[in-house]
C-alpha cells in the first residue's frame, strides 16, 4: 500500500519512504555510476538488505525526515529528498536530494521538491538554518542551491575521491529569513 501524500505540488508529491520502495528503482539508483557520479555513493554494491536497513533507520529516527519524491501523475518514485541530522536545539538540518530516474533530470522536479521540503522545514519545523554540501563538479546541485537562495559558505579542498580524482566539496547554507523573503507564502 502506498503511503498518503505528505507534501504536494501540481507535479510532485513527497511521501514517506517505505520498505516496499526498496524493491523498486530506488535500489538501482545507488548502483548506477552515472546517477552517483557527484555523490559519495557507488563505492560498494547497494543491496536490498542495505536499502531496507536504511529505510527502517530513517523511519525510526526523530532527527531525520527522508521522503520519496514521486510524480503526482501516476505516483512514479523518481528520487528521494531529506532533511537529515536535524538539530532541534540549534534549529538546523542538512538538506539532500537524489533524482535517480534519468529521464526526469532537467525537468524542474528537484526545484519543486526542494522548495516544498525547505518550506516545510522553515515554516512547519521552525528550523533556522538549512545547509548542504556537494562536489564542485555537480553543476545541477550548485544550480539548485542558487535557485533556493543558498549561499556558498565554504570549500573543503579535495575532500571527495570520485572517478579517480580528488574533488572539492562546496558547503552551502540558507537562513530562514532569506528563504521566506525569496519565497513568500502563496500560490506557486
Overall number of domains in the chain? 1
At 188, is the pLDDT very low, low, confident or very high (cuts 50, 70, 90)? low
Instruction: Tell me the three cell numbers of residue 158.
Output: 579535495
pLDDT in tens, 37-63: 777 676 677 888 999 999 999 999 999
Q: Does residue 78 lie in a domain region? A: yes
pLDDT at position 128: 98
> What's the rounded Cα separation, in Å, for the pair 161 and 166?
4
Residue 2 maps to a domain:
no
To 10 degrees, the CA torsion angle through 43, 83, 34, 156? -70
Tell whether 187 is covered by a domain.
no
- Strand locations in the chain (E): 7-8, 12-16, 65-71, 77-87, 92-99, 129-135, 151-162, 165-175
Specify if 100 maps to a domain: yes
Domain assignment present for 50:
yes
- Give the tens place of pLDDT for each residue, 65-117: 999 999 999 999 999 999 999 999 999 999 999 999 999 999 999 999 999 99
Is pTM beyond 0.75? Reply is: yes
The answer as to whether 188 is a domain residue is no
Instruction: Decide if 97 is inside a domain.
Output: yes
Residue in the structure block whose three cell numbers are 535500489? 27
What's the CATH code of the domain at 151?
3.40.630.30
Alpha-carbon distance 171 to 76, whole Å? 31
How many Cβ atoms are within 10 Å of 160's Cβ, its own excluded?
19
- Could you tell me if residue 69 is inside a domain? yes
Q: What range does the domain containing 98 cover?
A: 7-182
Q: Cα(69)–Cα(100) distance, rounded to whole angstroms?
A: 10
Amino acid at each position: 500500500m502506498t503511503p498518503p501524500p505528505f507534501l504536494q505540488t501540481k507535479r510532485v508529491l513527497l511521501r514517506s519512504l517505505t520498505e516496499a520502495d526498496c524493491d523498486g528503482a530506488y535500489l538501482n539508483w545507488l548502483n548506477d555510476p552515472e546517477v552517483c557520479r557527484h555523490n559519495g555513493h557507488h563505492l560498494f554494491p547497494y543491496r536490498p538488505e542495505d536499502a531496507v536497513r536504511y529505510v527502517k533507520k530513517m523511519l525510526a529516527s526523530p532527527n531525520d525526515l527522508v521522503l520519496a519524491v514521486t510524480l503526482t501523475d501516476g505516483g512514479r518514485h523518481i528520487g528521494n529528498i531529506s532533511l537529515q541530522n536535524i538539530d532541534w536545539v540549534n534549529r538546523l538540518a542538512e538538506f539532500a536530494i537524489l533524482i535517480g530516474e534519468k529521464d526526469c533530470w532537467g525537468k524542474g522536479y528537484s526545484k519543486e521538491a526542494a522548495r516544498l521540503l525547505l518550506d516545510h522545514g522553515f515554516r512547519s519545523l521552525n528550523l533556522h538554518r538549512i545547509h548542504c554540501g556537494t562536489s564542485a563538479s555537480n553543476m545541477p546541485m550548485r544550480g539548485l542551491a542558487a535557485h533556493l537562495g543558498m549561499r556558498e559558505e565554504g570549500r573543503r579542498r579535495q575532500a571527495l575521491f570520485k572517478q579517480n580524482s580528488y574533488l572539492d566539496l562546496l558547503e552551502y547554507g540558507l537562513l530562514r529569513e532569506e528563504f521566506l523573503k525569496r519565497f513568500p507564502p502563496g500560490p506557486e
